[in-house]
Structure 1
Amino acid sequence: MSHNQYTLNLRVMLAAGLMLLMSFPATSKDYKIILIHGLQVSQITNKAGSDVINDGQTYWQSYWHSRADERIDWPAYERIEGKIATDWVWPKLKQISGSNLCEQGCVFVTHSTGDLVARYIIDNQENWLLNAGLEPLNIVATFDLAGAGGGSELADVAVSALAGAAWSPAIEAALTWWLGSHVTEAVGVLHDLKVNNARKLAPLPDTRVPRLRFVADGNAYLGLTGGFLKGNDDSVVASHSSCGASSVRAFGSCHGYTDTDGRLHVQRDAVTGFMPYHYPLMMSDSYSHNEIQDAQRRGNVTIAMDNIKVAGNTLGFNTVDETTGAWLWKKQYRYIKDSDKLSASALIYNVIP
């Protein structure tokens, strides 16, 4: 074989190898990832200027967009049981079913109100798709970041205030930080987010899908919104919602012996009862509501429950313990391994099967 022929063959082999590598997706998860975003405030303040699809992509751009296989986008100015379901969720479910994307299993990754939208989907998608002669989605779990499935007291305040029932400088300041200064009426999903309304929406889905919870407890909006939320909060939803508690109370932690900052000691105000199949895995007081889903590391995170079964897989985090002080001032902390290097989103993504 001549030198030129050898070189040509080598180039062909290298090119073929490169094409083979490029034919595989960037991720190699066992299950496909479907994103469901949360409240898009701009769609409430500027419905005419909303672009639901582009808004959905931008929402996840920081970290999750490039790692997901699909998204379910929805407009904040509509109601979940109304046009969100009929005009946005249903067409997407038909598309996903027809593509067989979830044949081997799908994981929903939700943020904020996406938790509530996912619960409504889980309760209805099987009947909807079967009645249309389509295969139901094989949803193996949801990963709910700062989940608002239990509602938010801020929505109660907003709906009441914008309807003219109550107003004060404190309410005005809180709503301005949360929703912006251009909201003049309570519309769309704000009504679904009222605590009682949220907890009545598909509260007991027949399908037993594990709802894995990732809880933020950081401060934002200068603390102006926290005064309207029960117990610990992430500045938009309280722990009763993000932990997945079965009752609405002023909870301080999702775990009876772990604080949200990782300190190990008795939590007398911890959640004691959870909604069916709700399992809090991660907590952190370093991330606020709108930070837990992005790519930036904000601080350490700790573990709540561990070793949760998901479609035959056991999910959990490796942890490291740290001790500070001595004698009466001794404190013990437990952190998820690598949370000193990786963002909460990266840690969550790494545990998806």
Structure 2
Amino acid sequence: MKKFTLLLLAGLLSASAQAAVGGYPVVLVHGFQPDNLASRPTGSQVTTNGSAYWAEYWRDRADVRIDWPSQERVAGKIATDYVWPKLQQMSQQGTCANGCIFVSHSTGDLVTRYIIDNQALWLQNAGLQPLNIVASFDFAGAGGGVELADLAVNVAGGSGLIDATLRLALSLWLGQIPSPSNIGVLNDLRVNTARQLAAFPDERVPRLRFVGAGSDFLGATGAFLPGEDDGVVASHSSCGASSAASFNSCSRSVAFDGKLASVSGPSSFMPYHYPLLMSEGYSHSEVIANRAEDEITAANSGANYLNGERLQFNTYDETRGWWILSSRYRVVRNSNNTSMSALVYQAAN
């Protein structure tokens, strides 16, 4: 029995060590779950949904999850009933005492920004130690808002006209046209609302961005999103641009497909937002999956954590095409057979 106990303990310690990214515990913050608007989950169902959300890649590589229901508001019950208990628990257990990394997807980007802006004050007021967050890895970040949310809220409230094309787009994204009493976090995802929520956090935590430009909806939603998009979020939001505009890349010199050329990209970004990986072939959901969908390029090949440590990707440039028709492309090494999430995880370790 004693030998079994020691083996079990060793296994638990090994799993915990494996979950860390570069020695830092990982905290997951999932995104918007449209089915929550109708099912309105509470209690254990919120936890079950959160576990399923990350199951394909990140769940077993994380130490903590902050699960929350999409029928609520970020500064309302999401913060008080779901975020705050987890922050207290992490502080009391010293999860982030030596630093931790948040990993967010979609609306989790907005929730994480709200956490970063408020956690130190909340915890200090409760007599607890603030979390030492050294970086946030934000996949398909919706922190700059989602134009589809504006349309959904307007339609639900009766102030928006809906034709067959818009109905199809909203139905593909949400599964249904929401009612006025059933829009929850969609309120927070409206572009102007999202950009005003904790827009200038005092904490200087680097928000490292990982972005796709594919679509799960055969382009049906893209008509309602400015510039390049991933089927749900426009690149101004996922790249972390300081303004909502039509952009075709997170960079002004590298396209989503890796081509080195002048391209319409942001000239400035939200505070401490740094776009890194991009790919034309990854959709909104695929960036956190465990499948290689396309080659990946880099808007920037690396960025520093808050403590000065660096996340760095290995890139190379190559010429494609023939003679005067040739172009130069930037590629992240091994991205043709490694998922975006796996590339980030491997680089961080």
Report if TM-score (shorter chain) is over 0.5. Answer: yes
- Relative to structure 1, is the Cα distance of residues 124 and 23 closer, same or farther in structure 2, using a 3 angstrom cutoff? closer
- What's 1:30 paired with? 23
1:34 counterpart letter in structure 2:
V
Which of these residues, 149, 163, 179, is aligned with residue 168 of structure 1?
163
Q: CA deviation at 1:219?
A: 2.2
Structure 2: how far apart are the matches of 1:61 and 1:172? Answer: 30
Q: Secondary structure at the match of 1:333?
A: strand
Q: Secondary structure at the match of 1:279?
A: strand
Q: Secondary structure at the match of 1:109?
A: strand
Using the aligned pairs only, state the percent identity.
50
- What's 2:277 paired with? 282
Structure 2: how far apart are the matches of 1:147 and 1:314? Answer: 21
Q: CA deviation at 1:220?
A: 2.3
Q: CA deviation at 1:299?
A: 1.1
- Relative to structure 1, is the Cα distance of residues 118 and 21 closer, same or farther in structure 2, using a 3 angstrom cutoff? closer
Does the 8 A contact of 2:19 with 2:26 survive in 1? no
Structure 2: how far apart are the matches of 1:278 and 1:49? Answer: 33
1:170 counterpart letter in structure 2:
T
Gaps of 5+ in 2: none
Structure 1: how far apart are the matches of 2:125 and 2:99? Answer: 21
Does the 8 A contact of 1:218 with 1:287 survive in 2? yes
Q: Secondary structure at the match of 1:24?
A: helix
Normalising by structure 1, report the TM-score. Answer: 0.92
- Relative to structure 1, is the Cα distance of residues 139 and 82 closer, same or farther in structure 2, using a 3 angstrom cutoff? same
Q: CA deviation at 1:165?
A: 1.4
Gaps of 5+ in 1: 1-11
Which of these residues, 45, 66, 70, is aligned with residue 60 of structure 2?
66
Which of these residues, 67, 70, 82, is aligned with residue 76 of structure 1?
70
- What's 1:106 paired with? 100
1:303 counterpart letter in structure 2:
A
1:171 counterpart letter in structure 2:
L
Structure 2: how far apart are the matches of 1:270 and 1:122? Answer: 26
Q: Secondary structure at the match of 2:274?
A: strand
Alignment RMSD (CA, Å): 2.0
Q: CA deviation at 1:68?
A: 0.3
Which of these residues, 297, 321, 326, is aligned with residue 325 of structure 1?
321
Query: How many corresponding residue pairs?
Result: 340
Larger radius of gyration: 1
Does the 8 A contact of 1:142 with 1:211 survive in 2? yes
* 1:192-242 residue CA offsets vs partner (Å, 9 max, x unmatched): 000000000000000100000001111221211111111110010101000
2:294 counterpart letter in structure 1:
G
Q: CA deviation at 1:21?
A: 6.7
1:352 to 2:348 alignment: yes
4+ residue runs of structure 1 moved beyond 4 angstroms? Answer: 15-22
1:97 to 2:54 alignment: no
Structure 2: how far apart are the matches of 1:66 and 1:132? Answer: 31
Does the 8 A contact of 1:44 with 1:77 survive in 2? yes
Structure 1: how far apart are the matches of 2:54 and 2:6? Answer: 34
Q: CA deviation at 1:23?
A: 3.8
Structure 2: how far apart are the matches of 1:131 and 1:48? Answer: 30
Does the 8 A contact of 1:339 with 1:347 survive in 2? yes
